[in-house]
Amino acid sequence: MAYTLQIALLLCGTVGLSLCYSGPDLPPGPYCGISNTCCKDRQDGCSHRILDSKCYCDQFCNRTRGHDDCCPDYPQVCLGEVPPQPIANGCKHGRTFYAPGDTRIEDCHVCECIHAPQGDDYWQCDRDPCIMSEDVLRGVSQSRLGWRAANYSQFHGKKLKDGLIYKLGTLPLSRETARLGPINLDKEIAYPPHFDARTHWKNYISPIVDQGWCGSDWAVSLATIVSDRFAIQSNGAEKVILSPQTLLSCNVRYQQGCRGGNIDTAWIFAKNHGLVDEECFPYEAKITRCPFKKRGDLFSDGCRPVVPQRTSRYKVGPPGRLIKEHDIMYDIMQSGPVQAVMTVYQDFFHYQDGIYRRTRFGNNELKGLHSVRIVGWGEENGQKYWIVANSWGTQWGEDGYFRIARGENESDIERFVVTVLSDVTEAYLRK
Ligand SMILES: *[C@@H]1O[C@H](CO)[C@@H](O)[C@H](O)[C@H]1NC(C)=O
Ligand SMILES: *[C@@H]1O[C@H](CO)[C@@H](O)[C@H](O)[C@H]1NC(C)=O
Ligand SMILES: *[C@@H]1O[C@H](CO)[C@@H](O)[C@H](O)[C@H]1NC(C)=O
């Protein structure tokens, strides 16, 4: 059979019979209808030219119709069937046909084939922006901004509005919290141009977490900072990785789990109830049942402490707020990484390396709050930056970290920085 006909009939199989008679690929005839002859056996007299091949009007068509060499009008002429309504021609995508009402996914969009009573059927896709944006990728690569953008596969097929919920997770600060008076240290010392907690306290700094598709940054940033500070303040004796799952599963009141949390509520929970270690209650990126009693200790929780003297869960003192560049630096040098709440727009998701500053590329309307962990600072070509741990795994950014401009409140990163002291077991407290 001729190539064209095969293609045309192949399409019939995909789109349904109706298209075979009315579609643009096969001329509709008439064929059997020319002479109204329908034969029993296959014979040349009972065939007609169609494109550069032949089609037949015999009863073999009965068995094989729809995908063989029968004339398009065989069922109407020879079987007396009503011709199918010449409905929609459907929608096409690549080499595939879709019927009206069919949907397909394109990146993060759902597209539906819409039937147009007059005119051609067409695709209608939702217009929500995806996390990954061509505008950001192109814009950032064509400008000299000091940072580079990447197209991350972990964000493919995801909408920006969902990313702002499930890759971040910090609820707006209450008015009361936002007004919390900052601590003013005002220490006039010679600050080193570079400081990195990861090298200064080698092996004490907890690894990069991947929060997954769960807006738990409020829990992850808190747990990692408290872990780091337990190790630092105990000179490594209480080096422990604390479990953000404790917060996600047990600090549920006034919190929204994977849809976000209030950092002040979380700090109060950490102060009053404490956290257990990651080994005892591993992170699952979803709310699970809290397995612990409200008032319990590591023993009743079934967790194993790293020092024999410890019985209570890992708790903290009252959190404090820092806002000045030097105060933040002083606190990190003294006690370890701090928590910061930054504002995230679409371009931030694309960060690959360099010193981040917000651009105007991509969407500038949607934004979210993100809690992260500042572990140090530095300078490069006269540009000052913070070194910050994100919680999107180590494939993102600079091995899971990013650098961001320092001293200019970039993305509000200096707006609300939290410091806290960990309740280290007395015997091991660093003097
Ligand atoms: C074709 O098949 C139909 C049922 O599918 C049957 O009623 C009819 O008699 C058949 N016609 C011929 C010509 O074999
Ligand atoms: C990112 O990469 C994927 C896979 O290579 C590609 O399909 C997609 O179009 C890219 N996204 C953008 C915004 O360029
Ligand atoms: C940082 O910017 C935010 C919002 O623009 C503002 O509310 C805050 O006071 C600023 N913080 C500092 C330390 O400048």
Strands 320-322 and 417-419, bridge-based pairing: antiparallel
pLDDT exceeds cutoff 90 at 289: yes
Span 312-340, average pLDDT: 97
| Same domain as 220, residue 294 | yes
Ligand 2 neighbour 346 (Cβ under 6 A): no
Of the listed ranges 32-41, 182-191, 263-272, the least confidently predicted one is 32-41
Ligand 3 neighbour 173 (Cβ under 6 A): no
Q: Whose CA is nearest to atom 7 of ligand 1?
A: 79
Q: Which atom of ligand 1 is nearest to the CA of 40?
A: 13
Are 170 and 266 in contact, with CB atoms under 8 Å apart? no
Ligand 1: centre distance to CA 65 (Å): 11
- Report yes or no on 248 lying in a domain: yes
Span 261-275, average pLDDT: 97
Long-range contacts of 138-143 (CB under 8 A, 24+ apart): 138/361, 139/359, 139/361, 139/362, 140/347, 140/350, 140/359, 140/361, 143/359
| Same domain as 57, residue 171 | no
- Report yes or no on 95 lying in a domain: yes
Q: Which residues lie closer than 8 Å to 295 by C-beta, 6 or more apart? A: none
| Same domain as 391, residue 337 | yes
**Residue 30 preceded by cis peptide, ω within 30:** yes
| Same domain as 75, residue 97 | no
Ligand 2 neighbour 133 (Cβ under 6 A): yes
| Same domain as 304, residue 404 | yes
| Same domain as 55, residue 155 | no
Ligand 1: centre distance to CA 87 (Å): 26
Residue 23: band (very low, low, confident or very high) from pLDDT cuts 50, 70, 90: very low
CATH number assigned to the domain comprising residue 228: 3.90.70.10
| Same domain as 259, residue 235 | yes
Ligand 2 neighbour 141 (Cβ under 6 A): no
Ligand 3 neighbour 331 (Cβ under 6 A): no
Identify the pLDDT of residue 146. Answer: 94
pLDDT exceeds cutoff 60 at 313: yes
Residue 108: band (very low, low, confident or very high) from pLDDT cuts 50, 70, 90: very high
Report how many domains make up the chain: 3
pLDDT exceeds cutoff 70 at 63: no
- Report yes or no on 60 lying in a domain: yes
Q: Whose CA is nearest to atom 4 of ligand 2?
A: 153
User: Which one is predicted more confidently, 319 or 48?
Assistant: 319
pLDDT exceeds cutoff 70 at 39: yes
Q: Whole domain around residue 106: which residue ranges?
A: 91-125
Burial label for 113, CB within 10 Å (0-12, 13-18, 19+), is buried
Give me the chain's average pLDDT, please.
Answer: 89
| Same domain as 222, residue 252 | yes
Q: Which atom of ligand 1 is nearest to the CA of 59?
A: 13
Residue 25: band (very low, low, confident or very high) from pLDDT cuts 50, 70, 90: low
| Same domain as 210, residue 105 | no
Identify the pLDDT of residue 399. Answer: 98
Ligand 3 neighbour 415 (Cβ under 6 A): yes
pLDDT exceeds cutoff 60 at 306: yes
Please provide residue 97's backbone torsions phi and psi, each rounded to the nearest 5 degrees: -100, 145
- Report yes or no on 416 lying in a domain: yes
Of the listed ranges 23-32, 116-125, 176-185, 289-298, the least confidently predicted one is 23-32
Identify the pLDDT of residue 401. Answer: 98
Residue 124 DSSP one-character state? E
Ligand 2 neighbour 174 (Cβ under 6 A): no
Residue 130: band (very low, low, confident or very high) from pLDDT cuts 50, 70, 90: very high
Residue 86: band (very low, low, confident or very high) from pLDDT cuts 50, 70, 90: low
| Same domain as 148, residue 100 | no
Span 139-165, average pLDDT: 96
Ligand 1 neighbour 59 (Cβ under 6 A): yes
Residue 344 DSSP one-character state? E
- Report yes or no on 423 lying in a domain: yes
- Report yes or no on 264 lying in a domain: yes
Identify the pLDDT of residue 426. Answer: 83
- Report yes or no on 84 lying in a domain: no
Identify the pLDDT of residue 87. Answer: 53
Identify the pLDDT of residue 29. Answer: 74
pLDDT exceeds cutoff 90 at 95: no
Identify the pLDDT of residue 88. Answer: 52
User: What is each CA distance from 295 to 247, 275, 323, 361, 400, in whole angstroms?
Assistant: 15, 12, 34, 49, 35
Span 44-63, average pLDDT: 80
User: Which one is predicted more confidently, 76 or 341?
Assistant: 341
Q: Which atom of ligand 2 is nearest to the CA of 151?
A: 1
How far apart are alpha carbons 19 and 85 in whole angstroms?
A: 10
Identify the pLDDT of residue 85. Answer: 59
pLDDT tens digits along 213-265: 999 999 999 999 999 999 999 999 999 999 999 999 999 999 999 999 999 99
Identify the pLDDT of residue 422. Answer: 92
Q: Whose CA is nearest to atom 12 of ligand 3?
A: 415
Identify the pLDDT of residue 134. Answer: 96
| Same domain as 64, residue 159 | no
- Report yes or no on 85 lying in a domain: no
pLDDT exceeds cutoff 90 at 79: no
How far apart are alpha carbons 219 and 225 in whole angstroms?
A: 10
How far apart are alpha carbons 313 and 425 in whole angstroms?
A: 11
pLDDT exceeds cutoff 80 at 428: yes
SS3 104: strand
| Same domain as 196, residue 120 | no
